[in-house]
Structure 1
Amino acid sequence: MLGLEQAHYKTGKYVCERVETDEANRKALVKIRAVLKHPTQGDLHNPKKTDVPLFHERKALAEFEKTWVPLSTLRPFEGECPTYQDSLRATWSEQFEQLEQDGSEWAKKSQEALLELRNEYRFN
């Protein structure tokens, strides 16, 4: 078994275990262990815009969820892996505070989405 790795998936970043490698398609199937960066809220194709057809609420991948990521996004993970719940709470809080400092219309709408996610994540 390979050691823990970190991977980017859309706008999030995660600690993961590689489950399978598909060299032909240059992808790896990974199992999520912790969150390093909470996904950005809103429309990925129109960053920091609120006048979009759908302002997406983006959840972090769940603990032990499996997903395919490009091999190019994988890097070795150094250090101790935090618990999933602690990492989710920390990255959610970090993003919420950064948005508080931004103060733009996009930031406020992103904070609203994060508050909804907080309820789904079941932490106060």
Structure 2
Amino acid sequence: MEFNIGDKVTAIYKTGHYYGEVTKELPTAYTVRVLAIKKHPIQGDLHNPKDAEVGFFHERKALAHREQANIPKKMVKPFDGEMPDYKKSLVTAFNEMKASLDTEDSAYAKRSLECLESLRTEYGI
């Protein structure tokens, strides 16, 4: 599917899922301006998901409001709805991620929850 500049889309970037708008087309990607969060990025090492015993356990922030990212074309889908508010969507996605981790009893969940607590302060929520 092809998109034009200004089209509303959803896009998966690394492990986060976002709502946004296309600002540029590249040969294999679209530049997408983030307008809201659909799913907060998971914490930890992308190459060793759900593993707490890695060399460096990454704290992964959601992309900022109006931040732009180059996203492979296959990860961009059309969005036909009312654009959510960025801050409200961030809080919802954050709380959903936290609730999901609260149900797990694992070293990975504990490390992820520590990262989320740090992000809560940074996000101001």
Q: TM-score by structure 1 length?
A: 0.94
Instruction: Name which of 76, 79, 103 aligns with 2:78.
Output: 76
Counterpart AA for 2:10: Q
Counterpart AA for 1:39: P
Instruction: Name which of 80, 85, 88 aligns with 1:86.
Output: 88
Report the aligned-residue RMSD: 0.9
Counterpart AA for 2:20: C
What fraction of aligned residue pairs are identical, expressed as a percent? 42
Deviations 1:86-110 (A, max 9, x none): 0000000000000001121101110
1:6 corresponds in structure 2 to 10
1:98 corresponds in structure 2 to 100
Counterpart AA for 1:57: E
Q: TM-score by structure 2 length?
A: 0.93
2:22 corresponds in structure 1 to 18
- Alpha-carbon distance in 1 for matches of 2:102, 2:61: 19
Q: Secondary structure at the match of 1:56?
A: coil
Cα deviation for residue 10 of structure 1 reads 0.0
Q: Give structure 2 stretches of 5+ with no counterpart.
A: none
1:112 corresponds in structure 2 to 114
1:47 corresponds in structure 2 to 49
- Alpha-carbon distance in 2 for matches of 1:78, 1:91: 20
Q: Secondary structure at the match of 1:102?
A: coil
- Alpha-carbon distance in 2 for matches of 1:97, 1:84: 20
The 10-residue stretch of structure 1 (71-80 or 82-91) with the greater mean CA deviation from structure 2 = 71-80
Q: Give structure 1 stretches of 5+ with no counterpart.
A: none
Runs of 4+ in 1 over 2 A off after TM superposition: none
Aligned residues: 121
Cα deviation for residue 15 of structure 1 reads 0.4
